[in-house]
Amino acid sequence: MKYELQAPTPGTCRVVLVGRADAAGVDLIETGLSAELRAKEGHVVIDLNQVPFMGSLGIRMLISIARLAARRGARIAMTGVQPQVLEVFETMALLDLIPHAPDAEAALALVAG
């Protein structure tokens, strides 16, 4: 699994995740991603267009990012959630915590308030 941090607008960080978010994949990126996000400020958009599978540790990583954003008063949204992943998120009510936007532009609008 890989990740990339982008700055689509001032004050917003886009996290692009790539690959299966299973135990092995999450283990590769979680520490580095958390450290980089802690050093940033502003709202967060998580791009899941290239994530075909989300296991329990992947969900834990998303929740940790959401809690980090909440602690510093920032907003968070997701975009590009694949149908099979969306089903898991709906079962877990994860969309109550991290709202899902249909595309990148809508996600930016969501966090901009």
Partner 1 sequence: MMNERDDGTEAERTMISRAAVPTGPVDGTLVHALVQEADGTPIQRHPLDGTTLVVGRVAPAAIVLDGSAVSRRHCMLDRAGDQVTIMDLGSTNGTFVDGLRILQPVVLADGARIQVGPHTLRYERRRREEAHAAASLASDIAKARAYVNALLPPPITDGPVRAAWTFQPCASLGGDAFGYQREGDWFSAYILDVSGHGVGSAMHSVSVMNVMRQRALPGTDPREPASVLAALNDMFDMDKHHGMYFTMWYGVLHIPTRRLSYAAGGHHPALLHASGEPRALPGRGAGIGTMPGFPYRTATVDLPAEARLHLFSDGAVELAEDVQETWGMPQVTAALCGPGDWAQGPDRLYQRVRALSGQRPLDDDFSAITLQLG
Question: Binding to partner 1 by residue 94, rule CB under 8 A?
Answer: yes
Nearer to partner 1, 34 or 49 (CB): 34
Write the CA distances from 72 to 32, 38, 92, integer angstroms: 19, 10, 24
Binding segment for partner 1 among 2-10, 38-46, 88-96, 105-113 (CB under 8 A)? 88-96
Q: Which residue in the set 41, 56, 105, 112 belongs to the binding site for partner 1 (CB under 8 A)?
A: 56
Q: Please, are residues 52 and 88 in contact by the beta-carbon 8 Å criterion? A: no
Please identify which residue in the block is written with the tokens 């994860």. Answer: 94
What is the size of the binding site for partner 1 (CB under 8 A)? 19
Helix axes 23-38, 56-71, angle to 10 degrees: 10
Residue numbers of the site for partner 1 (CB under 8 A)?
Answer: 20, 22-23, 53, 55-57, 59-60, 63-64, 67, 90-94, 96-97
